[in-house]
Structure 1
Amino acid sequence: MAKTKIYSGPEVIDMVNSYMSETDALKVKEAYDWATELHCEQVRKSGEPYIIHPIQVAGILAELKMDTATVISGYLHDVVEDTTAELVDVEHKFGPIIAGIIDGVTKISKIQYQSSQEQLAENHRKLLLAMSKDIRVIIVKLADRLHNMRTLSALRQEKQRRIANETLEIYAPLADRLGISTIKWELEDLSLSYLEPEKYHSIASQMNMKRDERIQYVETAVVEIKEAIQGLELSNVDVYGRPKHIYSIYRKMTDKHKAFEEIYDLSAVRILTDTIPDTYAVLGAIHSKWMPLPGRFKDYIALPKANGYQSLHTSVVGPGGRPLEVQIRTHHMHEVAEFGVAAHWAYKKNKGSNKEAKVNDQNEQTLNVIQGILELQEDAKNAEDFMDGVQGDLFSDRVYAFTPKGDVFELAKGAGPLDMAFSIHTNVGIKTIGAKINGRIVPLDYKIKTGDIIEIITSSTAKPSRDWLDLVSTRRARNKIKQYFKQLNRNDNIEAGKDLLTRSLHEMGFEANEILVTEKLVKTSEVLHYNSYEDMLAAIGYGDVAAPGVANKLTEDIREAQEAAKTAELQREMLEEGHEIKRVETALTQRQKSSADDIVIAGVDNLLVRLGRCCTPVPGDQVKGYITKGRGISVHRVGCPNIRAAENQGQRLVDVEWEDENGLKPNYDADLTVHGENRNGLLNDVLRSINTRTKYVNSVNGHATKNGMAQVSLSIGVKNTEQLTAIMDALNNLPAVYDVERTFH
């Protein structure tokens, strides 16, 4: 990571003088002098004078060209919490607006962070609600967090990891949602350096080793691009290289299971122009010179991201036949991309200009974020429910769909027609009976893709179904459906809840009549904090609580007894040194025979496809296929020895890929091996961890070794590599487990 700038007090004052009026700059200087006086005897954990921290926070805000109130708040953000000054003193000297910003930042800072999930969710809820009152509160907090991350080495390791994890989970996504990429990238890279230091430094050193080669490649590309666009006779065009950030490379390696050597686009070229027509002209020149890579072009100018980001992205076969990523945008779009909502204050005085119109668009995007936060707060049952909604609806990837009239709707990735219907209006959602996508009738569980034209079909006599709760993915739609059923007759909801609970118990293999007795219902309703078991059944009926969750709680003691008896025998056998155990759980699952139907073959239809058992590919793995004699296409993971052998034998390889992941089957075989100490309870912990994350367990096989170690082999069913990685991470966190590896035959 590039060395960060350390500002001196006079440097920050010079920065604000460059874009503020003389009167405003004097107010900033007054705040700096007062903060210096108040913090004069204080020092940080690192031993340096405390005033250095407010100076750096104000410097970061001045780099963003924030307004006077925000920069002053940067200097004074800690005075109420850490000095003798009170909020009334701030208001007396600098007015109610600045006092309000500092009050918001102070309230966030006073939160005592604890390890429990519920407490963390409550902390984050307060942070986001403070942001919704004045966006400048969170911008000051982002600058504060950025400097704290830059100086995190002064804290003990446990606190470093906690702060870094919180930064990666909340603050970096917030910076991204507000479009402030210049802060987002640095927060992500710094967080990774504390959470995964070995991987961070490995990527950094490998990037440094190839630095000269990368610089030379980018310089060649820049020269050739300038030559390609010379004939366009454009003015004020900048062309330069942009290195990838370490965190983005780490994510690509992790999500796509690639080695560093397989990441080719370590650098990108960015082109800045004056006007939007110029960007498309440059794109045409680039595509005329180099062949574009299929599926790698994205037009964020016509369809901006939720945070206001606009740019053209394309990947081409560049100099020397190597992939090259190119971003093309206007100078103003670049300012918005770097500074996001902060660009509003940079262009605040350009009233009536084209820039001002774009800034207003950006403000509207920000207000949408704030409005979304307030809506989620109104609908949430508790802090965890609120945070689930924020992370799912506001911080997730987005898709953009059109109505038949051409209106654009922005939805969370994974949303379906019902989600869009409820985003249009509650009454549209309630009356929905179907949907057409691009003129074709689709089921309500269809996953919307960017560019889809969606027509919602309604009927005045239609009513929602309780099954809709399983079909929607956005919190807004789910809450509206729940509200509808909550308003129905209480007795209807109790009966509906009992029916749903009976169905869940049957699916789990239990006799409902034996479980749904008054004693068990009363006990479970008390555990779940309902006044009566009828209230609990009604809550299931209108969708406030999921029936499978209540069924799990009702049968918890029975299942625990069954599992304890089964695992006790397995554990006893494993503890006998050198003894091997094997239990095939055929009752739990069977392999999906049609899994290979989810493979798409480039340019070929109606061929028999089978997944290679040697490497057990799952969605998310990079795959390759080869044509066998009489058995169709055999699909294997890239890197599988059988693929290399087929290629060496002259067999024809074909490009294959997974179908859209949202429509895939839930069960693909994957094999894992767990290595750990042969302690009592190990097998039980492994099975518990697995069972909470997948219901498909094909087999368990374990044995103890002479050196007191144990090895457990598992065959499980997963939907994709993301689920598999989560399972492996959970197993790695178990006590006495020192390694979990994916195994292949």
Structure 2
Amino acid sequence: MIRFDDILDKIDYFPEKELALLKKAYVFAAQADQGQTRRSGEPYLSHPLEVAAFLAEMRMDPVTIAAGLLHDVLEDTPVTAAELHQAFGKEVTHLVEGVTKISRLQEASPETRHAESIRKIILAMTDDLRVIFIKLADRLHNLKTLKYLDEAKQRQVAQETLDIYAPLANRLGMGRIKAELEDLSFRYVDPESYFKIASLVEPLKKEAEKTLKKTKKIMASLMKDNQIPAEIQYRLKRLYSIYNKMKSRGISFEEVYDFMALRLITDTTSNCYQALGIIHENWPHMPHRFHDFIAMPKPNLYQSIHTTIIVGKKKTIEVQIRTRKMHELAENGIAAHWKYKDPGPPPDRGENLRLHWLREMVDLYQDHKSPKHFLYSLKSNLLPEDITVLTPKGERISLPLGASALDFAFKIHTEIGLHAAEARINSRRAPLKTILKSGDMVEIITKPDIYPSREWLNMAFTHAARHQIKRWLNQQKRQQNLILGRQLWQIEAQRHGWPTPPSASLLKLIAQLTNFRIKTAEDLFVLLGSGKLVFSSRLLHRLSQESRQKDKKKSIIKKMMPRLPRRPTSEIQISRADRPSLRLAKCCHPIKGEPIIGYLTSGHGITIHALRCPLVTREILNPDRIVEVSWAPNVRGPFTARLQITTEDKPGLLAQITTAIAQHKSDIKQVKASTFPDGKALISLLLIVKDYNHLQKIQQEINKLKEVISVIHR
């Protein structure tokens, strides 16, 4: 068990005044936790001491370390927030409350717990990032004592760590804690794979360490001879990192070329490149394994030069070369900016780049109310971003692997994404669906008359882009539903003498009768236009307060037969069949010019059916959802028509039929033919026609053939 004096040894640079704050926090925590023990049998105080020790190793400020000592007193002891505030003030209390809010969600359902936990984390981070530093330290020590919990709890905590906390640490550039969280969780989430990887590594450890020590000694001597100050460390790749690389890339253990690694830390960027040159002069290297993350940092601002050298009998060692500052950022990420008495202000641009992801997560939190949807979006955004592309001005933009030019457009600005027409990638024109690669220079060409369509969802990879596309499409659909719903209301209002627009009292009555939330006329029109609300006989009866049951019901066919409207607004004119709120039924493929009816389909507006449709002729459709519609004079095709032709089975007849169709400038989309023992044949054609008149001319032409028995429009 770590002692408080061990923590003091780590922070011997603190002035006495600030050491007093930590001593006070230690005494307070010891008194609050007195008599409590952990599942391991250790005093409960051991846990806050371990958390504080880790924060001290990260060289955090005194307030953060004090909050680490006190982080669970509000959750696990009778201490109140008021008492804590009185003893330590606002800042310490605020941090402890932030950690407590996250911890108290652990009893919820797994899905809700994950989503709500990360929501709390995000909100706490936007308020004070130190909350997540304490929470990560808390989670790290809990994982180290996970063996004392039951198996189900072990798996739950470990899986949550791999899903949320480790990727979160990675996003914040905290490589050291991310690696520890992954390794500690791995053995509980997938013990079979853990021990399999361990069995592969264990026999090689002794020889690998020998090789690393020998190479390190030679490299150190070379740096000294060339007057390059260098600290050289060595390591074997962690088990989870090996497992993840093998799984994600589909490679064998022998193909993990960075199993052994050396890290060379020097003083300046210039010396990093000089050291690289010396290393390449003395060892053969693998060109395809070279990465310059100093010139092109990773999205979480990680910087280092990576090269893989070959030593001995075809053994490979990855060498990482970086400055001391780069190393500190790689280990502790954004937490390095909170380092105690760090001279000078933090690099604003770098911190803003790291926190850009956090701001996107806040937007997700505001947009998604469902824990399931939020968690799905969250996981896709927690995944490490793997590519960096450039704007024409040289600005670096980070995107996930698999992102397209359209994703890039939305990353730059929503308006650019909504009006994107094409891309220029490395000065060459390219479609928006083009998948980007690291180092690409991308420019987006916009046009004011370009807007998203549903097909764009197939081109967008990132949640942010897809979310904006869906939002725009939903807004357009709402607008179309609003227009259609207003027309439907005007028809019913004329029939029943209701006011247009509807009065507040009428809206209230409709809301009460239908259980829909209707506050304004727009709410009502959108519900009508989408087909979610229809004026059924029962509803009309209640609204008009007069009996309509005495009238003999008309048959559906009679009700739908075309008739001249009494007023211009008594029916809806179909001017565009591709509007979101209007669509042509696929069961009958109605064609301009033939009699039609409209059918309100819940959530989809009006579906247009031909009167010849079997759903209409068999009186299958609900009469309450039928509306009168007609073709507007300006509606344009093309339309799809299916003809069923019964003929004598004669050679060459199909060719004669297709010739007759071609004479009337119609295209054949599909042909099916069947023959029967009685010498008859059945030909099914799917044609593209301009309107109903065009189709009738084609039917007449086919009927002229003497072998044709009948031509039926289906």
TM-score, scaled to structure 1: 0.63
Instruction: State the partner residue of 1:396.
Output: 384
Q: Deviations over 1:449-490 (max 9, x none)?
A: 110000111123322223212211222222222332333363
* Structure-2 change in CA distance of 1:142 and 1:536 (3 Å): farther
The aligned amino acid for 2:355 is L
Counterpart in the other structure of 1:316: 309
Output the CA distance in 2 between the equivalents of 1:373 and 1:280: 37
The structural deviation recorded for 1:215 is: 1.2
Q: Which residue of 1 aligns with 2:215?
A: 221
Residues 494 and 209 of structure 1: CA distance in aligned 2, closer, same or farther (over 3 Å):
farther
List per-residue Cα deviations over 1:661-684 (Å, max 9, x = no partner). xxxxxxxxxxxxxxxxxxxxxxxx
Q: 1:687-706 residue pairs with structure 2 within 5 A?
A: none
Aligned counterparts, 1:350-389, within 5 A: 350-351=343-344, 356=345, 358=347, 360-389=348-377
* Structure 1, unpaired ranges of 5+: 1-5, 497-524, 544-550, 555-745
Aligned residue number for residue 204 of structure 2? 210
Question: Could you tell me how far 1:184 is from its partner in structure 2?
Answer: 0.9
Name the structure 1 match of 2:2.
7
CA deviation map 1:31-90 (0-9, x unaligned): 001100110111112221111111111111111111111111111111111112111111
- Of 179, 204, 215, which aligns to 1:185? 179
Find 2:424's aligned residue among 426, 433, 436. 436
Corresponding residue to 2:279 among 286, 297, 311: 286
Deviations 1:581-613 (A, max 9, x none): xxxxxxxxxxxxxxxxxxxxxxxxxxxxxxxxx
Cα separation, 2, equivalents of 1:256 and 1:419: 24
| Deviation at residue 260 of structure 1 after TM alignment | 3.8
**Which secondary structure state, in structure 1, belongs to the residue aligned with residue 476 of structure 2?**
coil
Q: CA 1:12/1:533 → structure 2, altered by over 3 Å: closer, same or farther?
A: farther
1:249 alignment partner, one of 236, 242, 248: 242
Displacement of 1:26: 1.0
Give the Cα–Cα distance (whole angstroms) in 2 for the partners of residues 85 and 275 of structure 1: 50
> How far apart, CA to CA, are the structure 2 residues paired with 1:190 and 1:461?
54
Asked if 1:426 corresponds to 2:414, the answer is yes
Counterpart of 1:269 in structure 2 is 262
* Residue 204 of structure 1: how far off its partner (Å): 2.8
Distance of 1:536 and 1:188 partners within structure 2: 50
**Cα distance in structure 1, aligned partners of 2:406 and 2:119:** 27
SS at match of 1:142: helix
1:538-592: CA deviation from partner (whole Å, max 9, x where unpaired)? 9x9989xxxxxxx9x99xxxxxxxxxxxxxxxxxxxxxxxxxxxxxxxxxxxxxx
Given that residues 394 and 412 in structure 1 are in contact (C-alpha distance below 8 angstroms), is that contact kept between their aligned partners in structure 2?
no
- Match for residue 462 of structure 2 among 474, 477, 485: 474
Q: How does 1:510-659 map to 2 (within 5 A)?
A: 535=530
Aligned to 1:661: none
Alignment partners' CA distance in 2, 1:251 and 1:294: 23
Report if the CA contact (8 A) 1:132-1:373 is conserved: no
Q: Does 1:415 align with 2:403?
A: yes
Q: CA deviation at 1:170?
A: 0.6
Q: 1:136 aligns with which of 127, 130, 133?
A: 130
2:321 to 321, 324, 328: 328
What letter is aligned with 2:7? Answer: V
Aligned to 2:637: none
Question: Matched residue of 2:162: which SS?
Answer: helix
Letter in 1 for 2:3: S
Match of 1:117 among 111, 122, 136: 111
Query: Conserved in 2, the CA contact under 8 Å of 1:241 and 1:270?
Result: yes
3-state SS, counterpart of residue 313 of structure 2: helix
Say which is worse superposed, 22-31 or 192-201, in terms of deviation.
Answer: 192-201
Q: 1:169 aligns with which of 163, 181, 187?
A: 163
3-state SS of 2:320 partner: strand
TM superposition shift of 1:231: 4.6
**CA distance 1:357–1:133, change in 2 (3 Å):** closer
Find the counterpart in structure 1 of residue 292 from structure 2.
Answer: 299
Label 1:348 to 1:130 Cα distance change in 2 as closer, same or farther (>3 A).
Answer: same
1:45-84, aligned counterparts within 5 Å?
45-84=39-78
CA distance in 1, matches of 2:450, 2:93: 52
Distance 2:52 2:233 in 1: 29
Which residue type is aligned with residue 444 of structure 1? L
Q: Do the aligned partners of residues 382 and 535 (structure 1) sit closer, same or farther apart at CA in structure 2, a change above 3 Å counting?
A: farther
Moved more, 298-307 or 447-456: 298-307
Query: Alpha-carbon deviations, 1:3-44, whole Å to 9, x = none?
Result: xxx52121112222x232221111011100110011011111
- Aligned equivalent of 1:24, options 18, 21, 26: 18
What's the Cα RMSD here? 3.1
User: Is 1:493–1:541's contact at 8 Å kept on the other side of the alignment?
Assistant: no
Q: How does 1:432-471 map to 2 (within 5 A)?
A: 432-471=420-459
| Deviations, residues 198-243 of structure 1 (Å, cap 9, x unaligned) | 33234334423222210111122213323444453213x1122122
Instruction: Tell me, in whole angstroms, the C-alpha distance in 1 between the residues paired with 2:429 and 2:190.
Output: 47
Percent of residue pairs identical: 40
- What SS does the aligned partner of 2:263 have? strand
Identify if the C-alpha distance between structure 1 residues 541 and 329 changes in structure 2 by more than 3 Å, giving closer, same or farther.
farther
Which residue does 1:596 correspond to in 2? none
Alignment length (residue pairs): 505
Q: Contact 1:380 / 1:386 at 8 angstroms: preserved in 2?
A: yes
Encode CA deviations 1:110-130: one digit per residue, 9 max, x unaligned.
Answer: 113445434432333233332
Q: Report the alpha carbon displacement of residue 309 of structure 1 after superposing the two structures with TM.
A: 1.3
8 Å CA contact 2:262, 2:318 repeated in 1? yes
Retained in 1: the 8 A contact 2:168–2:382? no
1:494 CA drift (Å): 9.0
